[in-house]
Amino acid sequence: MKQVIFFFEAHQPRRIRPYRRNEIGKNHDYFWKEKNEEILNRVINKCYIPMTIFLIDNNFPCSISISGVLLEQLLEINSEVIDLFKEYFKSGIGELVGETYYHSLASIWNFSEFEEQVKIHEENLRKIFGIKPVTFRNTELIYSDEISFEIKKLGYKNVLTEGTDEIISKYNPNYMYSSVAGLNLFLRNYRLSDDISFRFSNYRWNEYPLFADKYAKWIYLTPGEVINLFMDYETFGEHNWKETGIFDFMKYLPLELKKYDIELTTIKSFAEKNVSKGTISINKIISWADIERDLSAWLGNDLQREAFDFMISLNKNRNMHIWRILQTSDHFYYMSTKMLSDQEVHEYFNPYKSPYLAFIYYTNILEDFRITYCF
């Protein structure tokens, strides 16, 4: 029987504020309180609350990751969302997925730093939800053979990554595979995922409007055992507003799938009941970001690389928490200067509207951090 897995990534960064040079050495308050609260409140009301209630009310199975930087912000301004998540996980129908607390790029430059951030998050999830995850989703699906060994070492059983064009030219993404380290490997079906996350409310799309019956038929016609639909949690209510019909779509989808005898499940539960289709080696680093599906969304230009190297150089310091919040991938994402269509996505998320300002504020802050906290 074919199954469908929804995986949702819930994450909001602590955005840094426009930090002026004349504050260096004087002001160590780096984060943009008003902006972060404004965005978070919007997302809470448009997505986190209604969507989590939706999951509970509809007994909707899915796997979710919630970044540590999001959880700590939710605890500060609205713990209702956390209570809803608790209720959802308590029902046993959903799965909580692990990652780095800081939603960082640590896995690509320092495995001991990576391990530490994963463990901080595990401790955090244990305290809040009393759950130890068995499935791991690295920041923005960043993955390679080497990284899979590290994830395995940390005790995880399952891992998610992107079904890139190169991979799916050789392997059908709609099966469960094994990583070289022996983890169960799930590949995102990017076309069917993006139909919901990017195209659902695009009226210029030739399949617009997308209804549950049509989409269920596409899934039915797709060969394989498991369809991996991985996307931002904010897809529901935030990137696609309630008015687009996204919640109704999700409500009717399980019913339409049932007509084809297709069920929803979680990664954990699928992995427990199925066997791997074979081992896949992915020796270069991939991700789900931009058209390139590599690290170029965060480290594609000189601004990003200089800022990243500068951050790393401050590793001996007296405030690891702040230093790690400054590792959150979004800070580098805002510095992207790609000219093509992906840049529109970067700009949509960029609170400074300019990659150059993102860089200037970030490096100003690092200069203060160096003076204030470094040995």
Q: What is the contact surface with other proteins in residues (CB under 8 A)?
A: 20-22, 301-303, 305-307, 337, 339, 354-357, 359-360, 363-364
Q: Nearest distance from residue 359's CB to other proteins, in Å?
A: 6
Enter the tokens of residue 159: 């891992």
Whether the link from the prior residue into 209 is cis, omega within 30° of 0, is yes
Nearest alpha-carbon partner for 344 in 241, 231, 239: 239
Nearest alpha-carbon partner for 142 in 301, 296, 339, 368: 296
Q: Nearest distance from residue 260's CB to other proteins, in Å?
A: 47
3-state secondary structure of 34: helix
Q: Nearest distance from residue 356's CB to other proteins, in Å?
A: 6
Nearer to other proteins, 205 or 356 (CB): 356
Whole-angstrom Cα distance, residue 366 to residue 22? 13
b/e per residue 123-160 (b: at least 16 CB within 10 A): ebbeebbebebbbbbbbbbbbbebbbbbbbeeebbbbb
Q: Nearest distance from residue 355's CB to other proteins, in Å?
A: 7
Catalytic residue at 140?
A: yes
Q: Nearest distance from residue 27's CB to other proteins, in Å?
A: 14
Nearer to other proteins, 38 or 302 (CB): 302
Q: Nearest distance from residue 331's CB to other proteins, in Å?
A: 15
Catalytic residue (one of 140, 150, 162, 234): 140
Whole-angstrom Cα distance, residue 114 to residue 101? 10
Alpha helices, DSSP H only, in the chain?
33-43, 49-57, 68-77, 80-90, 111-129, 145-153, 165-168, 190-197, 212-221, 246-259, 267-273, 296-299, 302-312, 320-325, 329-333, 342-349, 355-373
Nearer to other proteins, 270 or 308 (CB): 308
Helix axes 355-373 and 302-312, enclosed angle (nearest 10) = 10
Sign of CA dihedral 242, 243, 247, 253: negative
Phi, psi for 4 (deg, rounded to 5): -120, 135
Q: Show which residues are catalytic.
A: 140
